Structure 1
């Protein structure tokens, strides 16, 4: 069973039905309930035997059963060489020489800690293990939408938007929303209704998924196949802590995305009553609150993205800046015990800030591209990240994902060919 919408939003710590027309501060993705007091004592999952090298753990429900007449896709191929460096081919804990002990109470089966300025991986656990991403995969949808859609375009909500399965920001039929507001609902509240509204502008769910998967491949996220725009589980769904770090690293360089994840509250529109229901009422607008607790509780937090399904369990990405360093953390296959995922992320970020910048185990910036007509391979340099102010990035600032990393040729013929050709995203070949 998925964590469902139930037509409710959170206001002052209580749930209320959307039909009642109550306004207030709302966070549309309620936290899953804490584990029962009688649950077994916590132990950090052991992945030393590489149980998830090829595919995620078996599903616990029917979410990944193929539709009648179709078959589930084969697992994503496993690269012959570990992407990001040989050390990242390990399945257990991977630490640089001389690192102190890891913090306690980290429940995630896999995670990656990286420097977002240099692209260096500082530490990891099962970085290329295949796990389900849940709503963290909305980062890919956000990047595609930011690249293709005008944020000032106004769209009208549909019944299909409003009835999207899973967590919802609160879109209603005949409500009007700018794409910027949809992006706020997508990133701040993990709204699957917002994901649906954005995906239909990209050609529908299937077209949006195809574009998301193409972007993942362009970024070198070779463990990743998304099955739905929202992150709900589906046949073939797969990603890895390393891939989420690559995707998050790219997204952080987009000023609009950085602004969205750093925004604490924003006003969100209501929608009109259904004229076919005599007792129905207009739904007033409300204050939408970011559901990422790291943003409120961690010094230097830039924000991040939460995720949860029954099959994926808890997933999480977050980033913070301190003393000129920007670190990011990704968690997959986690539990909300003994502490919440954002608290586990905070402990790993503290661990990362305690390390020397020279202590690394791999890289996120091994971006390469090979000219199809030659054996010349070129490498791009990491893009430094600027400081994020309390107000976020400059409103309205845009960034084209497809123009983010121009390929640098190593010979005159290659350079000329690239100048004449279209600028494309660099591809990770390892």
Structure 2
């Protein structure tokens, strides 16, 4: 029996040591082996493509703004960090003819993202940034407040509504001109009323940050290209979702024709809605169009069908082979079909700003079309591998103590 005890203990010790080594080996390998190289990030992840002209050249003596930081996790869900098409599992491909570099279809009632393409790719908004300006206006200026445009306001680079210096216009009248006909003269008049261009873009950017639009930086109130201008299909979807909850905004974008009346000897100004789906697409609720040489064509529009509302945002699109509004109509049809088939959402419009720091690239598996899972990424084990190893060591020591104590008692009895 005396000889059996050391042999049994050696066997036990060897077995426990082998188990410890087996558990500790992955941790040691992790510590010793460099992390694998990350996948290449999505195109335009941090900034829009290079400009085609000099519109974004900073003023003399001023540096170009650095790109906005990218959040650690994609706003709206992990799939929103995907490149290419982001579709529900089993969904058919979107309709042919789409020319947009990125787009997103959302449910305006639930906030679900129905489908998307490069949703957080950073692009230029063109006049779609006027939706953000309109939010600042409706937040800070009463609809009946009188705005008197300056000569500088009235002489902005057009598209223009035709307001005249010294005229007296209500905020509500100008809001129709801003959203229906995308008046750059109106945008500048609002900026003057809000404290100047710099103060207004600051207010726009603070509001974007507050509601969670982390890809967005306004460089001009009107959407004319400027240094550091940036947004995304996701952000403009979020901004539009928020804006459509504001009655003044929703009424203006849904108006097909409007007249700013003649006042004080100034002529009446007829205003017609630029959005060609209004009155043509069944249940269309309104939206906004935009274009610059750098941004290309941008678009947002919403429609209601069977009591349910969807909206589409398109970025960096082209008018050929079909008009952008016709492409948008097909994407709305596609979204309604997915909704009717109860397709699982691929993300969500999230009204919460995240702490923005330099990110890892999104996992490669969210980039493929047909990705259907919306589960959040697995949480890190706060206890950690080292904690489990130490626990096992303590357990082994305790077990060994019991074994040794038992063997000694047994020897004493023998």
What is the TM-score of this pair, normalised by structure 2?
0.73
- Is 1:156 the counterpart of 2:148? The answer is yes
Residue matched to 1:316: 299
- Specify every segment of 5 or more residues in structure 1 that has no aligned partner in the other structure, as ranges: 1-47, 273-281, 371-430
Q: Is the 8 A contact 2:88 2:344 kept in 1?
A: yes
Q: Is the 8 A contact 1:175 1:270 kept in 2?
A: no
Contact 1:113/1:123 (<8 A) preserved? yes
Matched with 1:361 is: 346
Segments of 5+ residues of structure 2 without an aligned counterpart are: 1-39, 356-414
Structure 1 CA distance for aligned equivalents of residues 354 and 65 of structure 2: 27
Specify which of 157, 181, 184 is matched with residue 189 of structure 1: 181
Q: SS at the partner of 1:256?
A: helix
The secondary structure found in structure 1 opposite 2:312 is strand
Question: Any idea what the Cα deviations from partners look like across 1:122-179, whole Å, max 9, x if unmatched?
Answer: 1000100000000000011100000100111122222111111231001112222111
Measure, in 1, the Cα distance between the counterparts of 2:68 and 2:97: 31
Higher relative contact order (CA 8 A, sep 6+): 2
Structure exhibiting the larger radius of gyration computed from Cα positions: 2
Q: Quick check: 1:291 aligned with 2:300?
A: no
1:271 to 1:337, Cα distance in 2 relative to 1, 3 A: farther
| 1:269 Cα deviation after fit | 3.7
Q: Secondary structure at the match of 1:77?
A: coil
Deviations 1:21-64 (A, max 9, x none): xxxxxxxxxxxxxxxxxxxxxxxxxxx97221111011111100
Q: Does 1:326 align with 2:276?
A: no
Matched with 1:7 is none
CA separation in 2, counterparts of 1:129 and 1:271?
45
Are the aligned partners of 1:246 and 1:364 in contact in 2 as well (CA < 8 Å)?
yes
Residue 283 of structure 1: how far off its partner (Å): 6.0
Secondary structure of 1:111's partner? strand
Shift of 1:357: 3.8
Q: Which residue of structure 2 aligns with residue 388 of structure 1? A: none
Give the equivalent residue in structure 2 for 1:339: 322
Aligned pair count reads 314
Structure 1's 285 and 221: CA in aligned 2 closer, same or farther, altered over 3 A? same
> Per residue, is there more helix in 1 or in 2?
2
Taking the aligned partners of 1:348 and 1:49, their CA distance within structure 2 comes to: 26
Kept in 1, the 8 Å contact 2:215–2:235? The answer is yes
Distance in structure 2 (CA, Å) of the matches to 1:238 and 1:311: 11
Residue 340 of structure 1 and its aligned partner are, at CA, apart by: 1.4
Q: Give the structure 1 partner of residue 239 of structure 2.
A: 247
Q: Work out whether residues 113 and 348 of structure 1, in 8 Å CA contact, stay in contact via their aligned partners in 2.
A: yes
Q: Contact 2:163–2:186 at 8 Å: present in 1 too?
A: yes
Distance 1:366 1:233 in 2: 26
Quick one: distance in 2 between partners of 1:161 and 1:367?
34
Contact residue 135 and residue 232 of structure 1 kept, 8 A? yes
**Structure 1 stretches of at least 4 aligned residues deviating more than 3 Å after TM superposition:** 269-272, 365-370
| Conservation of the 8 A alpha-carbon contact between 1:53 and 1:128 | yes
**Equivalents in 2 of 1:253, 1:192: separation in Å?**
24
